[in-house]
């Protein structure tokens, strides 16, 4: 075991391709804020991942790194407790990625369902870069560099975490003499260097967006690029406007028409965000019976969302106009992250018998 921490470690991150929205909140961010006392937390801004699909927009990536750092701080990630850092500031990650890449069969990488989905959803066709495939390996290194126990993510990331587990098992078997029949939880006890991490999926696996179904009748995931998101940084008026124009039940013209609750974003959002479950259950009945209008239910949702976002808005004020404070937090985060990742790299080099220091 490389480290003996007082608390178990947690690592996760985001690819800076925009600001964070409510989908990020329920998928993972909410968990992270809660787990800060129980775990030693590392939150990574995966800026090199962002280059896989937008290498031509470095300025946007830079802006998004800063936006997300502010989103983290506003959401309640406390820089006194947790480490926030930028991937490219930690060179040991690249070193580890090249060592780990030897342990991943290429056809295995090509079968990764998340990579396949992304190629389809982002219309990458045959033209995706070599680096696009490499990013999954980089993610393995992002994670294992910190030897965390848990990795909170959205469910679309599970294939990458499975690959992380496979690499750690293989590494420990090949270089640390761990018996392949060892239980995942016992790898470190059995002499392994790298933990077999546990994924932690948020309470909502995939939050839908504000728009109606696509041409195939599917409600799509909340995402900046689909223009169907409520951002953590949206002000009260923007939230109100977005909710007022959100998709509900298209068959319902008048408040007296019976309404459908299933797959209706209005009710999906109430289910996810409204803490007053008695109100939700009761009002759904009224809605089904045509005894309450959309507008009343939307107004309630606006209140619920603004209650959630208000403390986030208040904390944001401290940071958003003070870039130097944010940069300082990121610098301090990088220092700590480098210390940990360098320790892992040194131990990995030793395990693969390529330690040649004096």
Among 49, 165, 270, 298, the residue binding ligand TRP under the rule CB under 6 A is: 49
Minimum CB distance to ligand TRP smaller for 47 or for 173: 47
Establish if 157 lies at the interface with ligand TRP (CB under 6 A). yes
- The 10 Å Cβ neighbour count of residue 55 is 12
- Which listed range, 150-158, 172-180, 191-199, 207-215, lies at the site for ligand TRP (CB under 6 A)? 150-158
Is 153 near ligand TRP (CB under 6 A)?
A: yes
Cβ–Cβ < 8 Å for 68, 109: no
* Contact status: 13 vs ligand TRP (CB under 6 A): yes
Nearer to ligand TRP, 48 or 73 (CB): 48
Determine which residue in the list 10, 26, 46, 147 makes contact with ligand TRP, applying CB under 6 A. 46
Q: Any contact of residue 151 with ligand TRP (CB under 6 A)?
A: yes
44 lines the binding site for ligand TRP (CB under 6 A) = yes
Range list of H helices, the chain: 22-24, 30-35, 47-54, 58-75, 92-101, 106-110, 113-121, 130-144, 158-176, 236-244, 265-273, 277-288, 294-320, 323-351
Alpha-carbon distance values, 344 to 84, 111, 213, 351 (Å): 18, 28, 46, 10
Residues 6+ apart with CB under 8 A from 158: 114, 199, 201
Nearer to ligand TRP, 11 or 301 (CB): 11
61 binds ligand TRP (CB under 6 A): no
**DSSP string covering 298-326, please?**
HHHHHHHHHHHHHHHHHHHHHHHT-HHHH
* Segment near ligand TRP (CB under 6 A); pick from 52-60, 62-70, 122-130, 138-146: 138-146
Q: Which residues bind to ligand TRP, rule: CB under 6 A?
A: 11-15, 44, 46, 49, 139, 142-143, 151, 153, 157
């Amino acid at each position: 075991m490389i480290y003996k921490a007082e608390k178990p470690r947690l690592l996760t991150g985001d690819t800076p391709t925009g600001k964070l929205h409510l989908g990020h909140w329920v998928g993972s961010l909410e968990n992270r804020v809660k787990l800060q006392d129980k775990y030693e937390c590392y939150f990574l801004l995966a800026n090199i991942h962002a280059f896989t699909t937008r290498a031509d927009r470095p300025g946007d990536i830079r802006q998004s790194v800063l936006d997300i750092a502010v989103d983290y701080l506003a959401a309640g990630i406390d820089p006194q407790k947790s480490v926030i850092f930028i991937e490219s500031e930690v060179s040991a990650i690249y070193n580890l990625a090249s060592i780990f890449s030897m342990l991943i069969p290429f056809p295995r990488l090509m079968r990764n369902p998340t990579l396949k989905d992304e190629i389809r959803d982002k219309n990458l066709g045959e033209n995706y870069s070599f680096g696009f495939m490499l990013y999954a390996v980089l993610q393995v290194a992002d994670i294992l560099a910190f030897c965390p126990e848990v990795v909170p993510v959205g469910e679309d990331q599970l294939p990458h975490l499975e690959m992380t587990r496979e690499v750690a098992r293989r590494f420990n078997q090949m270089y640390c003499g761990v018996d392949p029949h060892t239980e995942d939880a016992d790898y470190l006890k059995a002499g392994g260097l790298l933990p077999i991490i546990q994924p932690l999926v948020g309470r909502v696996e995939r939050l839908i967006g504000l728009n109606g179904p696509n041409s195939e009748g599917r409600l799509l995931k909340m995402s900046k690029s689909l223009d169907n998101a409520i951002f953590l940084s949206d002000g009260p008026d923007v939230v109100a406007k977005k909710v007022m124009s959100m998709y509900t039940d298209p068959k319902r013209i008048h408040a007296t028409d019976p309404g459908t609750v299933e797959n209706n974003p209005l009710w999906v959002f109430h289910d996810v965000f409204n803490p007053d479950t008695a109100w939700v259950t009761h009002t759904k009945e009224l809605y089904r019976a045509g005894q309450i209008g959309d507008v009343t239910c939307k107004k309630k949702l606006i209140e619920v969302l603004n209650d959630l976002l208000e403390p986030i808005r208040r904390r944001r004020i401290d940071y958003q106009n003070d870039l130097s404070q944010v940069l300082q937090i990121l610098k301090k985060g990088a220092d700590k992250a480098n210390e940990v990742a360098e320790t892992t790299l040194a131990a990995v080099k030793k395990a693969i018998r390529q330690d040649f220091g004096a």
